Chains A and B, each alone.
Chain A
Amino acid sequence: MCKANDEKRLLQAAECLSTRLKSAIVRHGQALAHDTQELRLRLNKPFSAVCADEVFYFIRAGGLSINAEDDNIIVTQQDIDETLKRLCSYSVYARQNELNRGFVTLAGGHRAGVCGTAVIERGEVVNVRQVSSINIRVSGERKGCADPLVSIGAQGLLIAGAPCSGKTTMLRDLARQISLKENIRVSVIDERGELGGKSGGVICSDLGMCDLFDGYPKAVGIEQAIRSMSPDVVVCDEIGSEEDVRALALCACSGVRVIATVHASCADELRRKPALAGALGTGVFEHVAFLAGRRAAGQVTGIMKGGDVLAA
């Protein structure tokens, strides 16, 4: 059942690929479903699927290889152009802000990172042209993966891990599980649409009984959630800016706990981020959980008290 769901999610993420690349994924869907974290398109380079332990390349005649060779499917300009159009639902103008920020969120919470040549105006990226790489991050849904954190989640928890360590997948499951517990109201602030994976007004991921603030900037969403939904717990992904920390401070003095994620693989890295040190100082995070890296995504390697991280 889980494998079927993984395959479904992989195919859902592959929907945005050009017809040629999509058919390669469809051919190997079953083999790749469980482990695939990313689908990578680099102009004039082999098309690849990045799994936890290996990178697989697609052979033109069919089959997979772990080595980049001459007979691999090579990503052409046409593949990039077609994929980009599909990513944007053939409406680039409507996703321009997301493209300028470097990523587009897809139905199902998958995220496509885009890079090319930036067009700068007054110091800001106003357009991206000549796109040369697209990285589609396959969003996972692993029910039960947050079991080790459920008992401490509602007290305020910061989940720290390196990229691709399964932070968002764990956060989604944790929000779902906590919201299903009695008398715990959870508001999810989903700035980038990855947690709810909302598409056409329908929440594609199972978020249990959570209230979803989709597309709200974190600081605005947190403030509105506290005012309008009277949450016990606020959940948000990838905090880091000063503005986020100010919003967390608001939670701390409103009796609302926060579950959030952050890019940091150890306590040392956390301490080196001044804004996060400030967030830990507010006492809004009772615990900090550290995840293993890409190779063991979703595995909790350690849990510390929020105060201890600062003191260490």
Chain B
Amino acid sequence: MPLKLLGCAALVLAGTAVGFMKARSLSSRRRLLAAIGTLMQDLATRLRYQSEDIFTLVTLAAKSAGLSIKEDADRSQGFLAWWELQTESFAPSHVLHNSDKELLSSFGSQLGTTDLEGQLSHIELCRVMLSKQLSEAEEEQRQKGRLYRTLGVFGGVSAAIMLI
């Protein structure tokens, strides 16, 4: 009997944990998208006032947005390759949706390739697109977050009842 009770408790805990983890992944996406938005805004400001190269500016902007960046990453293959490497580092693929990854990739593809005005327009466009994704992520977190947590708890409880 005590073993059965222990098993039940384990099932409830496991179900709850899965539900909370799933809900947490939703909030991770929202937080990451918000941080990328901060990076874009910071980068636009730095482009206006600092005439450093794009590697330096993105590194500084990413740091100020709280994103982890590989400072010793190889720059010899060009900015795009460097950017792909950095996005792999601060934006793990399981957290982001495909549309987020496409946006990040398109953001990096134009950085450093045009004059200041072109850069600022490009960043603004990406920020608008990002804000849509961010709203979607917030909505998803609000709707599905509670659902996942509830499902996790009830799933665990149901499994425990079945065991009894």
Contacts and interface: CB of A to CB of B under 8 A. Distances in A.
Contacts of A94: 51-54
Interface in A71-102: 82, 85-86, 88-94, 96
B115 A90 contact: no
A30 interface: no
A96 B53 contact: no
A155 interface: no
A65 interface: no
Interface residues of A, number: 12
A85 B78 contact: yes
B78 A92 contact: no
B128 interface: no
Given A90-B53, A90-B54, A91-B53, A96 B116 contact: yes
Interface in B43-90: 47, 51-55, 57, 78-79
A85 B53 contact: no
B120 to A, nearest CB: 9
Interface string B92-131: 0000000000000000000011111011000000000000
B139 to A, nearest CB: 35
A252 to B, nearest CB: 35
Given A85-B112, A88-B112, A93 B79 contact: no
Indicate the size class of the contact surface on chain B. 10 to 19
Contacts of A88: 112
Nearest to A84: B113
Nearest to A127: B115
Contacts of B112: 85, 88, 90-93
B114 A90 contact: no
A171 to B, nearest CB: 27
Nearest to B77: A19
Interface string B9-51: 0000000000000000000000000000000000000010001
Contacts of B78: 82, 85-86, 90
B135 to A, nearest CB: 30
A85 B119 CA distance: 14
Contacts of B113: 85, 90, 92
A90 B79 contact: yes
Nearest to A82: B78
Contacts of A89: 53-55
Contacts of B118: 93
A93 B119 contact: yes
Contacts of B51: 94
Closest 5 CB pairs of A and B: A90-B79, A91-B53, A90-B112, A91-B54, A93-B116
Interface of A: 82, 85-86, 88-94, 96, 127
18 contacts: A82-B78, A85-B78, A85-B79, A85-B113, A88-B112, A89-B54, A89-B55, A90-B113, A91-B55, A92-B114, A92-B115, A93-B47, A93-B114, A93-B115, A93-B116, A94-B52, A94-B54, A96-B115
